[in-house]
Structure 1
């Protein structure tokens, strides 16, 4: 990781978890961080790395991945500016449970675990927000495990598209996925091959359940997709 920092982004002000810190404390904690700049496609953490720092992302986007086998990666999610990672190791001191890859150039504040615990003890709101976000992550992972264990790959792809979509303001039955994800990205998120994603996306188009527009996919019948997902769960 390049140790040169990008000065305009060396602030924790945008980090949602730390929004309750008063300005003086925030500046003090910023000075106790190690500020670094990473380039796109650079690994910030490897799965099973040893270390207890927590990392705050103040610019850029990073991706959370696990590697069940040397030739396969599973994407758990992306973290945008204002987010954080490494909190589990900061809490329990265990090796990193996932790898972190920079998707874009990024600025990261590395905070030692004792400093983070100091914040948690001084600011109950930070502790509460951390607990809520950890619970939300556990619920999300529970849902992913359920999908992997009980859904056909076709329906895992449907579920991923629905997760990425937003309602179409012009049609309540439709949803928009923008920007449209590449097949390899979907495959890594639902634990299948890129070729399988390509086949199922073509099938969605042929059935009329998905249309391609410039810069977007349109899911034309969300209730029907949801019904198919529910039928797969029975």
Structure 2
């Protein structure tokens, strides 16, 4: 076997043994160098992909330099814009609206609520957007002015655990505003949502100066503790089927009528019930099918009608042993 062979640029030594020895840099053939225009084109395409990816991650659209918009990290807002730290992506700052629909602030006068509204940061969120991330550093209190949100958490495997749904007029995030600790859960928008973010210092000032509001906060915290205690007991003592029964009982109880019926509206989604009671959608579907065959629940328009509330309550209490 020859030790070298001819190439376009001359004789090259063969590596011996094959595949061994020091690796030599291949000789570049004349005219094979990349032209400057080709390199620039590649760089421009790479930078374009990076810019599009950054815009998609922040807001789903390329970043805009419109005055008043919330900018992502490293963006040059220019002298006309006011940089702000977004809580979840880039959302336009909305002009101050009214806090009159917030039940907690009802004891205040209209002028006091208007003054607080001007000191809040207002933002709008679309369905399935994250309002607050559990890993965020914010400690603001969220007042849900319009829409509906869900308090959720996720396991390491990605399984969703649902804690509660909060309608317009409610509020969230008071735990972090009170003790300064990290968030205990995330908040996700279920519909078009308008949120007023109040700083921890302002919230503490409002609570300490208004005993009625302070009592309302304590009442809500007490209800959270009771609800958590009940869920812990259900998870410890009830099977998956019985936990679904208990969740249906909880959803139907606020709409209980004198004829022993209760309507759950809108019809709950199987995955939502499963996330609340730590089971699977298949289990929820099977339990609802059994209840339907027993004529205990029926579908009526856009609601689920519990035809015998007392019987459903008895089924749950028998297993609980109360």
Please give the TM-score of this superposition, normalised by the length of structure 2: 0.68
Could you tell me how far apart the structure 1 residues matched to 2:201 and 2:237 are?
Answer: 41
Q: Could you tell me whether the CA contact under 8 Å between 1:174 and 1:221 is conserved in 2?
A: yes
Between structures 1 and 2, the one with greater helix share: 1
Whether 1:176 and 2:276 are equivalent positions in the alignment is no
Whether 1:167 and 2:256 are equivalent positions in the alignment is yes
1:3 aligned to which of 68, 86, 92: 92
Unaligned runs of 5+ in 2: 1-88
1:67 positional shift: 1.4
Q: Could you tell me whether the CA contact under 8 Å between 2:93 and 2:121 is conserved in 1?
A: no
Partner of 1:216: 303
Equivalent positions of 1:27-106 (< 5 A) are 27-106=114-193
1:70 positional shift: 3.2
| Greater relative contact order (CA < 8 Å, ≥ 6 in sequence) | 1
Could you tell me how far apart the structure 1 residues matched to 2:299 and 2:113 are?
Answer: 46
* Change over 3 Å in CA distance of 1:47–1:70 after alignment to 2: farther
1:130 positional shift: 0.5
Q: Could you tell me whether the CA contact under 8 Å between 2:148 and 2:165 is conserved in 1?
A: yes
Partner of 2:12: none
CA displacement 1:41-93 (0-9 Å, x = unmatched):
10011223222111111111110011133321111111111111110000011
1:207 positional shift: 1.8
Could you tell me how far apart the structure 1 residues matched to 2:263 and 2:169 are?
Answer: 25
Whether 1:122 and 2:209 are equivalent positions in the alignment is yes
Flag as ranges the 4+ runs of structure 1 deviating above 3 A: none
Partner of 2:312: 225
1:27 positional shift: 1.8
Unaligned runs of 5+ in 1: none
Could you tell me how far apart the structure 2 residues matched to 1:233 and 1:119 are?
Answer: 42
Could you tell me how far apart the structure 2 residues matched to 1:139 and 1:147 are?
Answer: 12
Partner of 1:151: 238
Could you tell me how far apart the structure 1 residues matched to 2:288 and 2:211 are?
Answer: 46
| Aligned-CA RMSD value | 1.5
Q: How many residues align?
A: 230
Partner of 2:99: 12
Greater radius of gyration (CA): 2
CA displacement 1:110-134 (0-9 Å, x = unmatched):
1111111111121111101100111
- SS of 1:211's equivalent? strand
Partner of 2:200: 113
Could you tell me how far apart the structure 1 residues matched to 2:148 and 2:213 are?
Answer: 22
Could you tell me how far apart the structure 1 residues matched to 2:320 and 2:117 are?
Answer: 47
* Change over 3 Å in CA distance of 1:34–1:210 after alignment to 2: same
* Change over 3 Å in CA distance of 1:24–1:178 after alignment to 2: closer
Could you tell me how far apart the structure 1 residues matched to 2:310 and 2:117 are?
Answer: 47
- SS of 2:260's equivalent? strand
Q: Could you tell me whether the CA contact under 8 Å between 1:51 and 1:93 is conserved in 2?
A: no
Whether 1:198 and 2:198 are equivalent positions in the alignment is no
